[in-house]
Amino acid sequence: MNKKNQYILLIEVLLIALFAKILSLSSKIIITRELGVEAMSLFSLVNPLILLLLTLSSLSLQNTIGSLIAKNIRKRKIILKNALIITIFLSGILITLLAVFSYFISNHLLNNINTFPCVIASIFVIPLTSISSIIKGYFIGVGELKLTSFSQIFEECGRLLFLIIILLIFPSLEAPYKASIAVFSLCIGEIFQVMYMLLFYKNSSFKKYREFIYINDKKDSYFHEILKSSIPLTLSRLVGSLTYFVEPILFTSLMLKNHYPINEITISYGILSSYVLPLVLMPGFISVTLSNLLIPNLGKMIRKKQYGKAKKFVLEIFFLCFFIGLVISLIFKFFPKEITTIIYKNNYGEEIIRKYSLFFMIYYIETPLITCLLFFNLSKKAFLSTCISSIIRIILIVMLVGKYQIEGVLIALIVSTYVDVLMNLFFLISFLIRQKKNSVFL
């Protein structure tokens, strides 16, 4: 692909991703407005649990198989099949455990029995989201970026359609059941996404699906390669997910210890998780899109031994992500009231956004940075940086919540993100310098 076509593809996938994000924001606005603060707060409490379960069941296979396929394009079918076998096995175990311990999680870990319907609904999210991410990783690896981008539109359309229909039919549901509807909408969205990718892939046919199902070449098994790359990255994400899962529990316990009422605690955390963070992190889809573009192009350049071109391409992606992050952070810094009013029709979290949005500009290079570490088999380094940054985050929450309440949680998140990004950047630069000295990569 020449430079001109590369830029055209970049613009196309960014525009498609932007439209998908607008749809995603629309569905979130509907959820936030129609479900109310109480239901959204319950959903926010359960969301870390969902992310933890998805991290365990998918084993970070979307990024792993995307990178493996980009480097071994002829073995794409067996890589995909091996990855699906792994995630189906793990999903079965997690579904069983969640079904058994759902009441304990709601009543004792989340400290709110009203989260029980959401926890039960999470059972259905696990297999659907995991399988969807694997299939999406396959298409990213083979370079079908427009297909995966369009699939996000169908995902959001399916989710939005489901929410509208259910809320119209059952407008007066209680908050716990409204929150569970938000969880179920994730399932519907993943079903729509998978259906689109399988039906509209240009090389799809029933015969090829049959050939794929009956692949059984033990000599070409990629289980070892997949697990070697995915386990460190999964452990990294697991540490992050566990931190996110512990965060509301720790925040609730610390605030209760300081004699704050449970309703005030739930609402304040809900405002941070449902209003502030989704807004300031919303443009992160740009980084994800650029990272997806990075995988197949970097794989193709490495296969052709175009190392200088690969280096330049990586630097361009990093610079573009950082520049976009800076511009977006400045917009949120100076116009938080206008943005929150337009999107939410209220000013929840306005002052927090004004004070802290500028610090999130570095967030936008985190995703392509992790993608590069995975591509160059540096997953263990990513795990190390995540462990250190997560420990710092927990320590800061304990130290700051008593004085700054919910802002203490946000400060802890920002500091830990900077630690993680800077460590990963150090690891990547050190690797590239070593490769240059050895004349292997650069």
For every residue of 371-412, DSSP letters joined together read HHHHHTT-HHHHHHHHHHHHHHHHHHHHHHHHHHTHHHHHHH
Using the predicted structure, report yes or no on whether residue 100 has a pLDDT greater than 80. yes
Give residue-wise pLDDT tens across range 139-195.
888 888 888 888 888 888 888 788 788 878 887 778 788 888 888 888 888 898 888
Would you say 65 and 79 are in contact if contact means Cβ atoms under 8 Å apart?
yes
In 3D space, the residue among 31, 57, 83 whose CA is nearest the CA of residue 189 turns out to be 31
pTM of the model: 0.75
Reduced to 3 states, what is the DSSP secondary structure of residue 260? coil
Would you say 127 and 91 are in contact if contact means Cβ atoms under 8 Å apart?
yes
Q: From the DSSP assignment, how many helices (H) and strands (E) are in the chain? A: 17, 0
Would you say 366 and 417 are in contact if contact means Cβ atoms under 8 Å apart?
yes
DSSP for 152-204?
A: HHHHHHHHHHHHHHHHHH-TT--HHHHHHHHHHHHHHHHHHHHHHHHHH-TT-
Confidence grade of residue 422 (pLDDT, cut at 50, 70, 90):
very high
Q: Among the listed ranges 87-96, 113-122, 427-436, which one has the minimum average pLDDT value?
A: 427-436
Would you say 377 and 441 are in contact if contact means Cβ atoms under 8 Å apart?
no
Using the predicted structure, report yes or no on whether residue 219 has a pLDDT greater than 70. no
Residue 285 is predicted with a pLDDT of 78
Residue 206 is predicted with a pLDDT of 43
Residue 239 is predicted with a pLDDT of 84
* Token pair listed for 257: 């210890």
In 3D space, the residue among 135, 134, 136, 107 whose CA is nearest the CA of residue 120 turns out to be 107
Q: What is the mean pLDDT of the chain?
A: 81
- 174: which DSSP letter? -
In 3D space, the residue among 81, 82, 104, 101 whose CA is nearest the CA of residue 93 turns out to be 101
Return the residue matching tokens 């908050």: 175
Residue 212 is predicted with a pLDDT of 53
Using the predicted structure, report yes or no on whether residue 96 has a pLDDT greater than 60. yes
- Rounded Cα gap, residues 424 and 418, in angstroms: 10
Work out the average pLDDT over 248-254. 84
Using the predicted structure, report yes or no on whether residue 52 has a pLDDT greater than 50. yes
- Rounded Cα gap, residues 387 and 389, in angstroms: 6
Q: Among the listed ranges 28-37, 144-153, 339-348, which one has the minimum average pLDDT value?
A: 28-37
Q: What percent of the chain has pLDDT over 90?
A: 5
Give residue-wise pLDDT tens across range 326-343.
888 898 888 888 888 877
- Rounded Cα gap, residues 356 and 271, in angstroms: 15
